[in-house]
Amino acid sequence: MKQLLLAILLHTLVYGLEDQNRDEQKDFTEFQSTLKTLPLTEQAGFLEMGINSDNGNIFYFCLQALLERKSVGSLPLLEMALEPHMLSEDRRRLAYIHYMRLRYLTLSDPKERSVWLLRLLASKGVHDYPVLMDWAIDEYGDSGLAGDVSIFERFEKYEWLSVKLALLREKLSLNARYPHPDELVIQAIQHKELAIRLWGLALSLRRDSEIVAQFLWRWYEQHNLVGGRREFEILEDTLLQHYKLWPKRHPRKPDIQKQ
């Protein structure tokens, strides 16, 4: 009898959870559809409602949507979510991470962004947010700006950051050795480390430069797939994107057919 009752209880719990997940997914889909139909002036208020939703999918979607807008006007919505009585501790931590990332994205000047990241990484509280710490180190390394590596010594105790910190030091070293952005791009793309080469390709898309365009062409024509098919595809995408951004910098349109 006990086994039968236990089986019935488990069956009820499993199917109850399935029904709950199905309902939450339905509500999430309806929320997304409704948002798309609203004018921009009304979307912010709708996203604010979503942040207060019990539906985890809706909550996370709203955080992402506010982050992708990169708008100063979205900051107050996330600030409200940080109030102690508004959300659970887990959700408030997630909202804080998105809030800090949004503050960074609303800064337009690269040097101002760099200083902001250093201040964040120098703060005591950042150690309580591994995801935020990881993101900030990535962003600072990708900024293309030289900086003082001593501030990152405090993170060496985290073994999971060892590879990331090694790449960061190499990026900052390249920044210091090649202060001209075009030369930095060229040297990074030719680096022995794949992660640095991909970083160099990403940096090239910030350069409205004939020198960079010519180098991309030369690198593309000489490339022998030594880095593998995936790296070559990224190189193709970079050349195409650079041409679309600044066609006058290129000798011709790339004859690359993308599926």
Residue written as token pair 């057919």: 257
Nearest to 99 by CA among 127, 71, 118: 71
Q: Which residues constitute the domain of residue 218? A: 180-259
Q: Do 76 and 98 fall into the same domain? A: yes
Q: Do 51 and 114 fall into the same domain? A: yes
Whole-Å CA distances, 58 to 23, 72, 89: 12, 22, 17
| Number of structural domains found in the chain | 2
Domain boundary residue, one of 141, 156, 179: 179
Asked if residue 6 has pLDDT above 60, the reply is no
Q: What pLDDT was estimated at residue 239?
A: 95
Q: Do 162 and 259 fall into the same domain? A: no
Token digits of residue 210: 């004939």
Q: Do 165 and 242 fall into the same domain? A: no
Q: Do 37 and 161 fall into the same domain? A: yes
How many whole angstroms separate alpha carbon 253 and alpha carbon 192? 29
How many whole angstroms separate alpha carbon 151 and alpha carbon 239? 35
Asked if residue 226 has pLDDT above 70, the reply is no
Interval 206-223 mean pLDDT: 94
First vs last C-alpha separation in the chain: 61
- Decide which of 116 and 152 is more confident: 116
Q: Do 234 and 119 fall into the same domain? A: no
Token digits of residue 5: 């009752």
Residue 61 · residue 50 · CB < 8 Å: yes
Radius of gyration of the chain (CA): 24
How many whole angstroms separate alpha carbon 75 and alpha carbon 47? 12
Asked if residue 9 has pLDDT above 70, the reply is no
How many whole angstroms separate alpha carbon 242 and alpha carbon 238? 6
Asked if residue 74 has pLDDT above 80, the reply is yes
Residue type for 38, please? L
- Specify the range with the lowest mean pLDDT, choosing from 5-9, 84-88, 165-169, 197-201: 5-9
How many whole angstroms separate alpha carbon 99 and alpha carbon 63? 9
Query: Above pLDDT 70, what percent of the chain?
Result: 86
Residue type for 173, please? S
Helix axes 229-245, 210-222, angle to 10 degrees: 150
Interval 18-27 mean pLDDT: 70
Q: Could you write out the three-class secondary structure of 215-244?
A: HHHHHHHHCCCCCCHHHHHHHHHHHHHHHH
Interval 52-78 mean pLDDT: 89
Q: What is the pLDDT of residues 154-173, one digit of tens each?
A: 888 888 888 888 998 899 88
Residue 52 · residue 86 · CB < 8 Å: yes
Q: Do 195 and 174 fall into the same domain? A: no
Asked if residue 112 has pLDDT above 80, the reply is yes
